[in-house]
């Protein structure tokens, strides 16, 4: 095997070099990159270049005249069947059938590695994704971020980056206190008869389960008299009033309960808090592991406080002159960096804000040696981007090294009806429930079937269907069909295919399939550059479609051995690329369906 099985196949680079050689003849010493793209219409050739249009102004010559000169100066090559001039001066290059057929040995030698960068870049990239508060089971919204982040990390690795996958555990702050108190209240009074259960506490059944587990393990250790629990807490507003004052009353009541829990339990409060955290974190790990999503590191927010990183980050901002004190609080002048208003980093009581810990966390990412950091956030965090980038710049870090990929929420539909969800009230569809209903493969694929920042309607009925309308089924069926053909062939060894006469692949459907295979490395490159794994999903749909058309148009296992072996070699290459693409998206490749 060669050191780089794709070295002789990259027709796009080879054609670019031919045009560069022609440019040197037409305009010696001209320095301009030669870029090629695949035309949308196959009738426009295999590659198109606007080089003549780019040169027209600096060379002061009409673009069509330049295009004619460039085409005339193209070196002879077995790659090119012809070069056409179209429109105002586009150059369309048409490859020979032999050049297109060269993709098959390249794929069959590299197998699933075809299209991947064979010489990794030195760039170290961190992809931080999901990072949901461990305050309850992961829901379908988290699932989209998980599928996108995992697929993106895989695509970046395929592009040669050294990727680290990280989950930021929000194990400090008020939300975890609310979960701990919610669990304790259910432990004290499971049905909420003696102690009215706050409507803004965590309501889900999982809270009751944690309370029962706490009682099973510790008995009555954390029991306290109801009167002591409610002592000094402001009352809850009557009914379901939605006015701001009622909301403030509910929040004040909940904060008072948190304070009472800490006072009454003392050191035992940490045990209750840790029980709730560990239970939910273990559930989250198990759920994501079952979804095929794994992390290299689970980073604790609490460690930033315990290790002094938050205090150091705030001190760094203050030393740089970007903080001021007002009303007892310490503020960051984030408006100097494009934010809509300044932000508090330390409250008047001395407590650091979530924003302060986020600054410390992001500074720490670069201190750990990552060249590029990609955060995957929910679209509702869009306004958070300027303040984080501003804080990095204020601390002397390059904010351009941080990229934030936004993920829109996924809306579930069942039987044409929208499935409603609310996290705090406990009325939501968990990721585990979704996986149980439609399966991991459909969930992973459907989640990345749209660009991450676009709204996603997830049709549960379609995801479960075994029809060509279901894209993941359609693609997996293509893979299984090819496996079936090879099974019918009798499982012969591959030497016959290695020596196949690929010149037999000259039919229209075959040439289209060859074109599609050749586009795989370019698709991977674009998906990595644009942080868009949905491009892989689109590509796989197209490749599967071209294969099904080819399969339905005629037999593969024909009597003519020359044609049979050539077609089997083609199908073997298609199977490898289908498997490689599905693997990047976390989807399996069944041999039978």
- Which CATH number do you get for residue 545? 1.10.730.10
> How many Å apart are CA 86 and CA 398, to the nearest integer?
44
The per-residue DSSP string of 123-138 comes to -EEEEE-----SSS--
Does residue 404 carry a pLDDT above 90? yes
What span, in angstroms and rounded, lies between the C-alpha atoms of 41 and 159? 27
Asked whether residue 31 is domain-assigned, the answer is yes
- Chain length of the chain: 593
Residues 514/104, Cβ–Cβ less than 8 Å: yes
Whether 225 is covered by a domain: the verdict is: yes
Query: Which of 40, 75, 95 is where one domain is finished?
Result: 95
130, part of any domain: no
Residue 2: its pLDDT value, please? 35
Instruction: Give 229-259 as a DSSP string.
Output: HHTTPPPPPSTT--SHHHHHHHHHHHHHHHH
Q: Cα separation of 132 and 134, whole Å? A: 6
The two three-digit tokens of residue 181, written as one number: 């108190």
φ, ψ of residue 62 to 5 degrees: the values are -60, 140
What is the torsion angle, in degrees rounded to the nearest 10, for the CA atoms of residue 456, residue 461, residue 466 and residue 471? -10
- State both tokens at 456: 């996603």
pLDDT at residue number 137? 93
Q: Are residues 91 and 178 in the same domain?
A: no
**Among the listed residues 144, 227, 197, 106, the one whose alpha carbon sits nearest the alpha carbon of residue 424:** 197
Could you give the count of Cα atoms lying within 13 Å of 583 in the half-sphere of its Cβ? 14
465 close to 473: Cβ distance less than 8 angstroms: yes
Of 9, 13, 4, 14, the closest CA to residue 101 belongs to 9
- Domain ends where: 57, 74, 95? 95
457: left (phi over 0), alpha (psi -120 to 50) or beta: beta
Average pLDDT of the residues in 46-70: 96
d(CA 476, CA 575): 10
Place 3 in a pLDDT band, splitting at 50, 70 and 90.
very low
Q: Within a domain: residue 534? A: yes
CB of 250 closer than 8 Å to CB of 198: yes
Alpha helices in 291-344 (DSSP H): 301-306, 309-319
Q: What is the pLDDT of residue 242?
A: 62
Give percent of the chain above pLDDT 70.
96
Query: What average pLDDT does this structure show over 90-117?
Result: 95
Return the bridge partners of 417, or none: 414
In-domain check, residue 524: yes
Find the range with the poorest average confidence among 206-210, 419-423, 426-430. 419-423
Which of the listed residues 261, 280, 299 is the one where a domain comes to its end?
Answer: 280
Supply angle C-alpha 294, 298, 301, rounded to 5.
Answer: 150
Residues 16, 36, 445: CA angle, nearest 5 degrees? 125
pLDDT tens readout for residues 484-525: 999 999 866 678 899 999 999 999 999 999 999 999 999 999
- Containing structural domain, residue 62: 11-95
Is the pLDDT at 177 greater than 80, yes or no?
yes
Find the helix packing angle between 534-553 and 561-584, rounded to 10°: 160
Q: How many CB atoms lie within 10 A of CB 24?
A: 12
**Closest-CA residue to 514 (of 529, 524, 527, 504):** 504
Contacts of 222 (CB under 8 A, 6+ apart): 184, 187, 188, 214, 265, 268, 271, 272
Contact 52, 66 (CB under 8 A): yes
H or E stretch including 289? helix 268-290
Say if 422 falls within a structural domain.
no
Helix, strand and coil in the chain, % to nearest 5: 55, 15, 35
Please give the pLDDT value at position 241. 62
What pLDDT sits at residue 106?
A: 95
Please report whether residue 84 resides in a domain: yes
Least confident of 114-123, 173-182, 236-245: 236-245
53: domain CATH number is 3.30.1360.70
| Residue 36, domain member (yes or no) | yes
Is the pLDDT score of 66 beyond 80?
yes
pLDDT value at residue 167: 98
Per-chain mean pLDDT for the chain = 93
Over the stretch 239-275, which tens digit does the pLDDT of each residue have?
666 677 888 999 999 999 999 999 999 999 999 999 9
What's the total number of domains in the chain?
3
Could you tell me if 524 and 114 are in contact, meaning their C-beta atoms sit under 8 angstroms apart?
A: no
Roughly how many angstroms between the first and final C-alpha of the chain, as a whole number? 33
DSSP 194-220: SSPPPTTS--SHHHHHHHHHHHHHHTT
């Amino acid at each position: 095997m060669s050191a780089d099985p794709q070295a002789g196949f990259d027709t796009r680079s080879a054609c670019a070099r031919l045009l560069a050689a022609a440019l040197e003849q037409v305009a010696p010493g001209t320095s301009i990159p030669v870029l090629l793209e695949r035309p949308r219409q196959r009738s426009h050739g295999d590659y198109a270049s606007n080089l003549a249009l780019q040169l027209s102004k600096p060379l002061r010559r009409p673009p069509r005249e330049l295009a004619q000169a460039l085409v005339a100066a193209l070196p002879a090559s077995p790659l090119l069947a012809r070069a056409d001039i179209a429109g105002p001066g586009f150059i369309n290059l048409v490859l020979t059938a032999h050049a297109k057929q060269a993709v098959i040995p390249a794929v069959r030698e590299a197998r699933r590695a075809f299209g991947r960068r064979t010489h990794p870049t030195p760039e170290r990239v961190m992809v931080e994704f999901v990072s949901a508060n461990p305050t309850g089971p992961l829901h379908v919204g988290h699932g989209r971020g998980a599928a996108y982040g995992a697929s993106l990390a895989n695509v970046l690795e395929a592009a040669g980056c050294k990727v680290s996958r990280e989950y930021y555990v929000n194990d400090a702050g008020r939300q975890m206190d609310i979960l701990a108190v919610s669990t304790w209240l259910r432990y004290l009074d499971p049905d909420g008869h003696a102690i009215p259960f706050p409507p803004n506490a965590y309501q889900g059944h999982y809270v009751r389960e944690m309370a029962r587990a706490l009682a099973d393990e510790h008995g009555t250790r954390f029991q306290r008299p109801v009167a002591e629990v409610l002592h000094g807490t402001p009352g809850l507003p009557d009914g379901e009033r939605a006015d701001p004052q009622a909301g403030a009353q509910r929040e004040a009541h909940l904060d008072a309960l948190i304070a009472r829990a800490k006072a009454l339990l003392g050191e035992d409060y940490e045990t209750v808090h840790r029980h709730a955290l560990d239970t939910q974190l273990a559930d989250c790990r198990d759920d994501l592991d079952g979804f095929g999503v794994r992390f290299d590191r689970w980073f604790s927010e609490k460690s930033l406080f315990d290790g002094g990183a938050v205090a150091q980050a705030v001190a760094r901002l203050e030393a740089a002159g970007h903080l001021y004190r007002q009303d007892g609080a310490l503020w960051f002048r984030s408006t100097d960096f494009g934010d809509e208003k300044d932000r508090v980093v330390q409250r008047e009581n001395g407590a650091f804000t979530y924003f302060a810990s986020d600054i410390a966390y992001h500074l720490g990412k670069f201190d750990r040696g990552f060249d590029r950091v990609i955060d995957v956030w929910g679209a509702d965090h869009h306004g958070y981007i300027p303040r984080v980038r501003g804080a990095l710049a204020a601390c002397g870090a390059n904010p351009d090294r941080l990229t934030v990929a936004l993920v829109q929420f996924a809306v579930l539909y069942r039987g044409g009806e929208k499935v409603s969800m609310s996290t705090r009230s406990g009325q939501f569809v968990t990721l585990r429930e979704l996986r149980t209903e439609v399966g991991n493969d459909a969930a992973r694929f459907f989640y990345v079937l749209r660009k991450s920042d676009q709204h996603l309607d997830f049709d549960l009925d379609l995801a479960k269907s075994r029809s060509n309308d279901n894209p993941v089924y359609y693609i997996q069926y293509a893979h299984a069909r090819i496996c079936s053909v090879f099974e019918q062939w009798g499982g012969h060894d591959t030497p016959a295919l290695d020596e196949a006469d690929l010149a037999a692949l000259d039919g229209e459907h075959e040439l289209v399939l060859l074109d599609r295979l050749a586009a795989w490395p370019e698709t991977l490159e674009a998906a990595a550059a644009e942080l868009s794994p949905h491009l892989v999903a689109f590509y796989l749909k197209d490749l599967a479609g071209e294969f099904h058309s080819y399969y339905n148009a005629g037999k593969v296992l024909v009597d003519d051995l020359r044609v049979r072996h050539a077609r089997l070699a083609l199908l073997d290459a298609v199977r490898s690329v289908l498997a490689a693409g599905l693997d990047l998206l976390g989807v399996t490749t069944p041999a039978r369906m």
